[in-house]
Amino acid sequence: MSNLYNNPLISRYASKEMAENFSNDKKFSTWRKLWIALAEAQRELGLNIAQEQIDEMKKFCENINYHVAKERERETRHDVMSHVYAFGVQCPKAKPIIHLGATSAYVGDNTDVIAIKKALILIKDKLVNLINELSKFAFEYREVPTLGFTHFQPAQLTTVGKRATLWIMELIMDYEDLIYTIDSIMFRGVKGTTGTQASYLNLFNNDHEKVEALDKLVAKKMGFERVFPVTGQTYSRKLDYKVLSVLSGIAQSLHKMTNDIRLLQHLKEVEEPFEKKQIGSSAMAYKRNPMRSERVASLARYVMSSVGNTAMTSSTQWFERTLDDSANRRISIPQSFLATDAILKIAINISQGMVVNDKVIRKHIMEELPFMTTENIIMEAVKRGGDRQELHEKIREYSMEAAREVKEKGNRNNLLDMIVNDQEFGLSKDDIDKLMDPKLYIGRSKEQVEEFIKTNVAPIVEENQGALGIKVTLEV
């Protein structure tokens, strides 16, 4: 136990790989990789930098002397220059050329871009796994009729699998936004203090071609083909807004999905996994609370609200930069990724173990189906010589009476009994029973699920085969 606050996103919810992506080791080793890439590129373009200096930097790239940097920052109040100093202590030969011509945003912003892109790829892998797991569920239950709900009132039938495709469709929209964002992310690059590259132009004796080459060469060394063509001191904070908007979209989809599951669990139709020794309530031992879905909804709200931070930060940057973005971004960006990672983990766990209670679903269908079959009953009675208008009025009256029996007296729905006993309909109980097969009322649900998975899901799954196979066991 500790007497200090422990961030539950790291200790309780998010995956190890996402937490590591935003760790100090990852951040500061990336700073050093950027300084090495800058020195290498400068040397290749003709600056007086020795290979020996670069080799010395590489030797200490991962071995960060945090205590030296921390002590230096107490004096300077500047994190980047403190780490430049600490790196120089370990690399005395390279000390004169570390951070040559660069500004703090060179390491800060480029590291952020690298971390964001890696985090988006981690999110993509989990999103694909969730789409795949839900698609298995949708296919398995593509023919199982269930009540559709509009306004949370019983409506025409759908199937359990068809409803799941509604969740998947929104996740595919999120996937498409995510892929576009990953593909469009640009490296901040080597731009100097206000984005004019003046310091580098001076280093290269006004050789514009070498300055342009430096920008692209460093980006390539760090794994990027595209570089922001223009920046101020920082890259446009509009990028952060775009990235968190994608995360917000995923959170919206999962909030909607798990809300549906919570409502279905209330109806006892579909339930999230419930482990053998799991406790639903400290007081009511019989309860099976949808705690996984509730956790998703809770964290999803956090993600959706965080995008507002990036909108405000983007809109209030002054000219080439201001520093009121820094402290906010240290929190809003990593924690939004950690929370999104967590809700995807939980959603995968739910989708791998959802329970469908077929008999409860059928019971609910049969309570409402008499009302839904009335149009078919009228058509069948008309075929046997009945008057459509008169039969319609009778069904209206009988429906009102049956509703009163259900709502006011708590009795079963007796609408069909009244129709069978009315000779004007000319229908026997066997005739009515033939019209009471729920599968007659699911439309093209089965075919829609099959076509949707084949056309919309399969290409995504096939393209991401290497990312499949995530199994999630919730430890807490």
**Cβ atoms of 221 and 40 closer than 8 Å:** yes
pLDDT bucket at 189, cuts 50 / 70 / 90: very high
Counting residues of the chain whose pLDDT is more than 70, the rounded percentage is 96
Average pLDDT over residues 188-200: 96
Residue of 2, 67, 151, 282 with catalytic role? 151
Are residues 167 and 246 in contact, defined by beta-carbon separation less than 8 angstroms? no
Report pLDDT for 284: 46
Mean pLDDT (whole number) for 67-78: 96
pLDDT-derived band at 212 (thresholds 50, 70, 90) equals very high
| Residue 277, pLDDT score | 46
Residue 87 has pLDDT above 60, yes or no: yes
pLDDT digits (tens, 9 = 90+) for 416-448: 899 999 988 988 999 888 889 999 999 999 999
Give mean pLDDT, residues 210-236: 97
The label of the residue with tokens 């409860």 reads 360
Q: Are 222 and 114 in contact (CB under 8 A)?
A: yes
CA distances from 260 to 77, 290, 451 (A): 50, 11, 23
Of residues 46, 164, 24, 30, the one with CA closest to residue 108: 30
Q: For residue 221, which of 181, 187, 182, 185 has the smallest C-alpha distance?
A: 187
pLDDT-based confidence at residue 470 (cuts at 50, 70, 90):
confident
Nearest one of 345, 342, 359 to 270, comparing CA atoms: 359
Residue 148, H or E segment: strand 145-150
Active site residue 151: yes
Report how far residue 453's alpha carbon sits from residue 470's, in angstroms, rounded to the nearest whole number.
20
Q: What percent of the chain has pLDDT over 90?
A: 83
Residue 374 is predicted with a pLDDT of: 85
Residues facing 149 on adjacent strands: 154
**Which listed residue (78, 208, 266, 281) is catalytic?**
281
Q: Please write the tens of the pLDDT for every residue from 168-187.
A: 999 999 999 999 999 999 99
Instruction: Give strand pairing partners of 153.
Output: 150
